[in-house]
Amino acid sequence: MKLNTLGIAHQFLAARVPEGGLCIDGTMGRGKDTAFLCQLVGPEGKVIAFDIQEEALASTDALLREKGLRERAELRLESHTEMDQCAAPGTVDAVVFNFGYLPGGDHKIFTHPDTSIQAIGKALGLLKEGGCVAACIYHGGDTGYEERDALLEYLSGIDPKRYTVIVADFRNRPGDPPIAAFILKAV
């Protein structure tokens, strides 16, 4: 495992996503997380991935084809706030978010606190018991700190009787390393 935010998130997901599972990638970007989830769910599973940029869909489509994973994914050009239209409550094993801008894309298009928080709320409703959300929060630079601060405040307020929230950051690394946040739904 790489000792970075994404590596920690992937290890967390690998321990929880079953073969044949149903997962959602709320921010498909270049498709790395979508591909990773497709591998975890295997040929009988399914991944539904969202992004608002055509460029993200094209990149993800190409990556999945290259890896022979395209049939396991449904790629949707719409906001992650629509995810409750695509899966029934209590049916999803894991939802992934990578908040920030498209790597190598337009830095002016990035996720925003209001829609990100709305999407997490919908993700919680879709999770099975024992299911999880894994989110990487990119902050600083062109993205700023507004979304990070709003997300951390929101996560602190999630009902502890129904969900466990864990936040991991790199306290002694320079700059603004991304933050990993995990939400586990109680069984």
- Asked whether the beta carbons of 94 and 25 are under 8 A apart, the reply is no
**Of the candidate residues 13, 16, 24, 27, the single one contacting ligand SAM (CB under 6 A):** 27
Ramachandran region, residue 20 (left: φ > 0; alpha: ψ -120 to 50; beta: rest): left
Q: Pick the closer one to ligand SAM by CB: 12 or 50.
A: 50
Q: Pick the closer one to ligand SAM by CB: 5 or 45.
A: 5
Q: Pick the closer one to ligand SAM by CB: 12 or 101.
A: 101
Q: Pick the closer one to ligand SAM by CB: 55 or 158.
A: 55
Query: Nearest-CA neighbor of 82 among 112, 54, 119?
Result: 119
Compute how many other C-beta atoms are within 10 angstroms of the C-beta atom of residue 24: 30
3-state DSSP call for residue 21? coil
Q: Pick the closer one to ligand SAM by CB: 51 or 93.
A: 51
**Of the candidate residues 21, 31, 45, 131, the single one contacting ligand SAM (CB under 6 A):** 31
Distance CA 130, CA 79 (A): 25
Question: Least Å distance between CB 23 and ligand SAM?
Answer: 13
- Asked whether the beta carbons of 65 and 31 are under 8 A apart, the reply is no
Residue 131 makes contact with ligand SAM by CB under 6 A: no
Ramachandran region, residue 90 (left: φ > 0; alpha: ψ -120 to 50; beta: rest): left
Taking CB under 6 A as the criterion, which residues in 77-116 touch ligand SAM? 79-80, 98, 100-103, 109, 111, 115
Contact residues for ligand SAM, defined by CB under 6 A? 27, 29-33, 50-53, 56, 79-80, 98, 100-103, 109, 111, 115, 138
